[in-house]
Structure 1
Amino acid sequence: MIEIEHLTKRFGSTLAVDDISFTVRPGLVTGFLGPNGAGKSTTMRMVLGLDRPTGGTAHVNGRSFVDLPSPARAVGAMLDAGQVHPRRTAQAHLTALAETIGEGRVRVQQVLDLVGLTDQARRRAGTFSLGMRQRLGIAAALIGDPGIIVLDEPMNGLDPDGIIWVRSLLRRLADEGRTVFVSSHLMGEMAQTAGHLVVVGRGRLVADVPTDRLLSDHASVVRVRGPEPTRLARVLADAGGTVEPAGDSALHVTDLDPAQIARLTLDHRLEVHELVTERRSLEDAFLELTHDATDYRADHTTERTVTP
C-alpha cells in the first residue's frame, strides 16, 4: 500500500506538489492522471525516495521508501525506460539488477519471458525501439517480484498488441493482490485498465475516485440544436440545465435528460432540429476536471495556420 498524506514539494519558488493526500490500495490498478506539469512524476519520485518532500509524507507499507529493509523487493519501479546503458544487453542489464538483490538467472529468464524479450535478450539496449525499452523497463521493475509496482507512462511507444499486453499484465498483477500505481496520458487505456483514478492538476488533487463512478458522473451530454439557440439556452437554464455552446447553433446540455428537454421545447414552442445524447469518454471527463488546472492549453475551437 502507498499512503500519501499532505504531500508538498517546492522547487525554489515553484510549488510542484501542493498538499495532496490519497491512498493506493492493493488488489486494483490505480491510474495517476494529470496534465503536463501537474506534479505526477514529482509525486512518484517522492514515493520512491528520489526527491525529499518539503512537507507531508509518502509511505510504502507504513514506512518511507528509504527505510524499507529490501526496497527492490518491496517496490518495483520504472520512471524512465531510457535509463539503461546503451551498450549493455537486456540480459546483462537484468542480471546486474538481479545480482544486486540476490536473485539468480532463473528470475532473469522469467521476466524476459514475461515481457516478451527472450529472443532479444542478447541485443544491446541502445539498439532497442522505444517499445522494447519500455518492456525492458517493466522487466527491471518486476525483477524482485515486488508487491508494489510504480510505473510512469509504461504504454508509451508500444504498438496495439503491446498496449493490450501491458493492460493484461497490470490487471493480472493487481488480481494477485499487488498494489499497482500507473501514470498515463492514454485515457482510453486507463478507462479499460484502472479500477481507481487519482487526478492532479497544478500540483493539487482534483479527483480520487473509482473509475466507473467518474465515468458515470460525466457519462453523457445532450446535444440540442435549433434556429433560436439563445432563447433555447435560456429556457433550458431556467429549468435547471447546465448549458454550453457547442458550435453550429448547437448546445451541450447536462443536468436535464432528453425527455425533459423535449418537453420544454414543446411547451415553449421551440423548433428543434437535433436532439441526441453523446456519450462522454474518460478523456472528456479528464478535460472537464482539469480545465482550470492546466498550464498549457491549446485552442480547440479553431484551427490556425501559422506562416513563418
Structure 2
Amino acid sequence: MIEVSHLSKKYRETVAVDDVTFTVRPGLVTGFLGPNGAGKSTTMRVILGLDRPTGGWAHVQGRPYTEHSSPIRTVGAMLDAGQVHPRRTALAHLRSIGATIGEGTGRAREVLDQLGLRDQGRRRVGTFSLGMRQRLGIAAALIGDPGVIVLDEPMNGLDPDGIIWVRALLRHLATEGRTVFVSSHLMGEMAQTADRVVVVGQGRVVADMSTEDLLSGQAATVSVRGPEPERLSEVIRAAGGVVEREGADNLTVRSIDSAHIARLALQHHLEVHELVTQRRSLEDAFLELTHDTTDYRAHSTTETAALT
C-alpha cells in the first residue's frame, strides 16, 4: 500500500502540500482529485522520491520508495508521458527500461501488446499522438509487473474508446490485488472507475472516502412532469416535499423520493408523464468540496454580463 503521513512540502515561501495524510490500499482504484495547484503532482513526486518532503513522510510497501532494492518492480509510475526521447522507437524505449531490471525484448513486446500498441513498436515516439504517448507511458509503468501503480492523468488525450479501455485496465489491475493510485480531471470517469477518492485543495485533504459514500451523501432531486403541475405541487408540498416550478409543466422536488411521489400521484389520480431521480454527480461533489480552495475561478455567465 501507499501511506502518506502529515506530509508537507514548501518551495521557498509557497506551501504546495500542507499536513496531508491518507492511505491507498490494495485491491482498490483510488482517485486523487483536486483543482490545478492543489498539490496532487507534488504529493506524487514525494511518494516516488523525486522531491524531498519538508515534513512528514510517504512510504510504499512500508518504506520510502528509494529504499526498495528494485523500485520498478515495486511501483510502476507515469507522471509525464511526454518524457521520452522523440527519436526512440516505442520498443526501444520499453526495452531500455526493462534492461535495468533484467527484462528483455519479450517483456517489452508483451506490454506493448497489452496496451494496444502491438503494431506501433517500430515507430518513433515523436510521431505518436498524445493518446498513443499516454498508452506508452502506462506500458512503461507496467513493465516491471509492479504491485503498486501510480498514474498522473492517464486518460489525458485519449479518445472515448481509449478512455473506456483504460478504465477497464485500471479495474483489472485492482482486481488482481494491486494498489492503483490515479489522478484525473475527468470526474465522470473517476465516478465510474474509482472505488475511493482522496480530494485535496490548496495542499490539504478535504475528503477521503469511498466514492459511493461521497455520492450518496449528495442530496437527490426528482424531476416530475405532468399536465396538472399546480395540483401536483400542492399534493407534494402537503406530503412534506419542497417543490420548484421549472417551465410550464415540470417540477423539481426535494425531500421526498420518486417512489413516494408516484404513490401520491396514484392516490390523487394525477397523470404523470415523467418521473426521474437526479443525483448529483462526482463533479458536483468535487466543486462543492473545493469551492473555497480554487485559486482561479471563472465568473458565471450572469456575473460576466454584469461586469461588461
**TM-score scaled to structure 1, two decimals?**
0.83
> Using a 3 Å threshold, how does the CA distance of structure 1 residues 82 and 293 change in structure 2: closer, same or farther?
same
Matches within 5 A, 1:1-308: 1-221=1-221, 256-257=255-256, 278-302=278-302, 304=304
> Using a 3 Å threshold, how does the CA distance of structure 1 residues 100 and 53 change in structure 2: closer, same or farther?
same
Please say if residues 246 and 252 of structure 2, whose CA atoms lie closer than 8 Å, have aligned partners that are also in contact. Answer: no
Aligned length: 283
Question: What are structure 2's unaligned runs of at least 5 residues?
Answer: 231-236, 262-274
Task: Tell me the distance in 1 between the aligned counterparts of 2:245 and 2:50.
Answer: 45
Match of 1:268 in 2: none
Task: Tell me the distance in 2 between the aligned counterparts of 1:253 and 1:213.
Answer: 22
- How far the C-alpha of 1:278 sits from its partner, in A, is 3.1
Task: Tell me the distance in 2 between the aligned counterparts of 1:217 and 1:300.
Answer: 26
Please say if residues 40 and 200 of structure 1, whose CA atoms lie closer than 8 Å, have aligned partners that are also in contact. Answer: yes
Task: Tell me the distance in 2 between the aligned counterparts of 1:207 and 1:279.
Answer: 19
Task: Tell me the distance in 2 between the aligned counterparts of 1:12 and 1:74.
Answer: 32
RMSD: 3.0
Please say if residues 219 and 281 of structure 1, whose CA atoms lie closer than 8 Å, have aligned partners that are also in contact. Answer: no
Match of 1:271 in 2: none
Task: Tell me the distance in 2 between the aligned counterparts of 1:46 and 1:215.
Answer: 30
**TM-score scaled to structure 2, two decimals?**
0.83
- The list of structure 1 runs, each at least 4 consecutive aligned residues, that deviate by more than 4 angstroms after superposition, is 245-248, 250-254, 258-261
Residue identity opposite 1:257 in structure 2: I
Task: Tell me the distance in 2 between the aligned counterparts of 1:221 and 1:39.
Answer: 33
Match of 1:265 in 2: none
Task: Tell me the distance in 2 between the aligned counterparts of 1:171 and 1:246.
Answer: 41
Question: What are structure 1's unaligned runs of at least 5 residues?
Answer: 228-234, 262-274
- How far the C-alpha of 1:258 sits from its partner, in A, is 5.8
> Using a 3 Å threshold, how does the CA distance of structure 1 residues 247 and 48 change in structure 2: closer, same or farther?
farther
- How far the C-alpha of 1:277 sits from its partner, in A, is 5.1
- What per-residue deviation string (whole Å, max 9, x for no partner) do you get for residues 173-213 of structure 1? 00000000000000111011110111001101011101111
Task: Tell me the distance in 1 between the aligned counterparts of 2:286 and 2:196.
Answer: 14
Residue identity opposite 2:184 in structure 1: S
Task: Tell me the distance in 1 between the aligned counterparts of 2:120 and 2:300.
Answer: 42
- How far the C-alpha of 1:303 sits from its partner, in A, is 7.4
